Structure 1
């Protein structure tokens, strides 16, 4: 049996002030910091008896209302609207503004602004979803698409961090991570099925860059229709989900002084004592079922899921599935959802094999979507939540201490298809290269705009040699790195370029193993070592001629 509400500890006093903390502008230039994952103010949670038996209004919809009426939830951008988005994007890029500095004051859309305002109201107070179509992703390339997408998003809310590294522009793609380890892995980084859930923010946006060979399709359901159905068919489940007896996993994204989990409800009522509070939901089953490491064994810190809770989770997902509207996102589509009153899910998918081409002979890119999390605070028309950060402009999201939105790794774009990634500050010690190479992989796969690259060259600088180190092992490390880079960057890595400073004797160990050609279909790994005189002594680095060839894309 799940713990009773009366057994729960009250909200700690310090938690009530977390939304009012001062923010360092040296870290967050706009003075705004994502508030992060937290439990509610428990004293503001309404008992189940206060919840309505049935909800009515525009937030309650059936799949049949929209299945054959796409014009009611789809907007195809006109040529004029695309031209306005294009000009604003070009001007933003020309001004040299970083993506992390995007705000609508820097992205004027005089003709679209009023339309976006009406759409935002429909998202927050109406059916809660829309599908925009027509962004020319192939023509614009990923950089301009990202700028246009974030510029559009700035009219709907404030960008909040989506992970512990502070990323505000997420990339939904299969990074080869193990979906069977939900305690360590965020499912959006795999090709596995995502069950019905909400994201940790008010609005979520997805821009489709490339779709999968099979699957990866979107299902959405009206949270209020789901609530009404639970009240009719399984009121005991509805009641259990209105109780703060549910623990949610932070997935290792834990700030100082925080537990690895937080306790909350699944269904809430707005904190609006004098108004007409609405029912809303905040829930992800993968963050509930992944806590066995804390709920089992003699050192258990939280109660395990009861049989009633396990049954409730299944009934909720089955109900959503039964009531869902199915949609397919094509390249250039932007889906916007309000998490407060819309659940969403994703089917499992299979990517195109490496080297696949489309009907026009273009190389197919693996499934890739850009994601935005957007906050709409209570005092700017957002839902009135029983959380301490309800009025914060960047409420919700994921925030670990003072982790700021990171600057992207520097990218030199050779043309629309080829990218050179400079990683000269990633100094790899051959004694610890396996772990450092893995860390480099983690950063490279989070590059903001690699998805349409067909050829990639990566430069890595190695520190001065250490006596007794066998550098031939480093070549094997580079070869081992090529396959994950190929998968992570959605491209064929034609050259992984290493900078190694060696003595004449040490270079002899490499002369017979500088070029490594992996299996057919994998990347070609080349380690180039060339002698050149330097002020600091004799070293071996990339020659100027090789540098020029690389920058011309002649790998």
Structure 2
């Protein structure tokens, strides 16, 4: 029996795309219509006039979008069951305050899924900015720096970004299909691909739920219920080796992850997009990996690169294997994902902290 015969089958659906084709066919890029912007702004103004606590618990009923809402449902279906990503352009964030932009984003997000905590402090709204930190600190996550992130997944079904301000240079978004990477590894080196279907320790970077180890142990690729789902962050796999009960990577594992990374970084597979202020990007973490290039920021703090982030759990999401509960807390669609540690209380920081 060949090595490939023991692996999940090659996948040939809309999620198995190649970057150059995505650049040519930009059907993933759509614009908010004037009527959609108007109803988002009207709903946002109603919420903005009330207390922050209301904005932190928005539901679709709180934030009615009779025109945009049905279109968001179709976009969500394409993200979950199709190509795995979408970009909506044209929110007038330059005319809104930071709080107003955040409320608008939270309201749009409520139509896509349940917002999940993104860190140990329970923040359901993330501020992606350079905080002057370094990923050399094992308790720092890379989005808090100006460094390149490298291709990875986040700990939720969907990650959404709203671009408020761009860097002086760099900071571009890159996407690659983890399904395409799987297919390529299966064709080229099925023996190495087998290592990515075995459990691997990944560092929690100091954000440890009750009763859990400081790392989780989930295979990079997971075949379950007819779906291939990926979970990956190479830097955190390597930093997990700092724990006494975690073995060093074997030469075969290093070779497997090196090939995986090389394929992710291959321009024949990935592609880059430049986010503009007012863009909303949605990415399915189970079938895509995303990256951000390193960037140089402006000297003026008021001009510096700034994105808002949501981790979303749609009820319509695919089933996941039980092992994902180590990271997601649950595998129940609509109730899974995010980071919950002792003392966590969900909150919305309207200012970058």
Fold match (TM-score > 0.5): yes
Unaligned 5+ residue runs, structure 2? none
Question: Shift in Å at residue 68 of structure 1?
Answer: 2.5
Matches within 5 A, 1:230-269: 230-244=185-199, 246-269=200-223
Query: TM-score under structure 2 normalisation?
Result: 0.92
Question: Shift in Å at residue 285 of structure 1?
Answer: 1.2
Matches within 5 A, 1:285-434: 285-294=234-243, 300-322=244-266, 323-354=269-300, 365-376=303-314, 380-387=315-322, 388=325, 389-391=330-332, 393-406=334-347, 408=349
Distance in 1 of aligned mates of 2:4 and 2:114: 32
Instruction: State whether residues 173 and 272 of structure 2, in contact with CA within 8 Å, keep that contact through their aligned partners in structure 1.
Output: yes
Match of 2:91 among 113, 135, 140: 135
Structure 1, residues 365-401: CA drift from partner, whole Å, max 9, x if none?
111110100012xxx3211111252215320211103
Matches within 5 A, 1:455-470: none
2:67 matches 1:111: yes
Distance in 2 of aligned mates of 1:393 and 1:77: 26
Question: Shift in Å at residue 249 of structure 1?
Answer: 0.7
Q: Match of 1:65, SS? A: helix
Question: Shift in Å at residue 255 of structure 1?
Answer: 2.8
Distance in 2 of aligned mates of 1:401 and 1:142: 30
Distance in 2 of aligned mates of 1:213 and 1:103: 36
Query: TM-score under structure 1 normalisation?
Result: 0.59
Distance in 2 of aligned mates of 1:304 and 1:185: 22
Distance in 1 of aligned mates of 2:32 and 2:305: 23
Question: Shift in Å at residue 90 of structure 1?
Answer: 0.6
Distance in 2 of aligned mates of 1:170 and 1:237: 36
Q: Match of 1:197, SS? A: coil
Partner of 1:284: 233
Q: 1:148 to 1:177 in 2, by over 3 A?
A: same
Partner of 1:75: 30
After TM superposition, the structure 1 stretch with the greater mean CA deviation from structure 2, 83-92 or 399-408, is 399-408
Q: Flag the structure with more relative contact order, 1 or 2, with Cα contacts below 8 A and sequence separation at least 6.
A: 2
Matches within 5 A, 1:62-211: 62-70=18-26, 72-96=27-51, 98=53, 99-181=55-137, 183-211=138-166
Q: Match of 1:372, SS? A: strand
2:166 matches 1:220: no
Instruction: State whether residues 130 and 144 of structure 2, in contact with CA within 8 Å, keep that contact through their aligned partners in structure 1.
Output: yes
Instruction: State whether residues 20 and 270 of structure 2, in contact with CA within 8 Å, keep that contact through their aligned partners in structure 1.
Output: no
Q: Match of 2:238, SS? A: coil
Question: Shift in Å at residue 283 of structure 1?
Answer: 1.1
Q: Match of 1:101, SS? A: coil
2:17 matches 1:61: yes
Distance in 1 of aligned mates of 2:169 and 2:239: 27
Distance in 1 of aligned mates of 2:35 and 2:80: 27
Matches within 5 A, 1:417-456: 448-449=350-351
When Rg is computed on C-alpha atoms for both structures, the one with the higher figure is 1
Instruction: State whether residues 148 and 294 of structure 2, in contact with CA within 8 Å, keep that contact through their aligned partners in structure 1.
Output: yes
Distance in 2 of aligned mates of 1:236 and 1:198: 24
Q: 1:85 to 1:406 in 2, by over 3 A?
A: closer
Q: Match of 2:24, SS? A: coil
Question: Shift in Å at residue 51 of structure 1?
Answer: 3.8
Question: Shift in Å at residue 406 of structure 1?
Answer: 3.4
Question: Shift in Å at residue 180 of structure 1?
Answer: 2.4
User: What is the total number of aligned residue pairs between the two structures?
Assistant: 342
Question: Shift in Å at residue 402 of structure 1?
Answer: 4.4
Q: Match of 1:104, SS? A: coil
Question: Shift in Å at residue 164 of structure 1?
Answer: 0.8
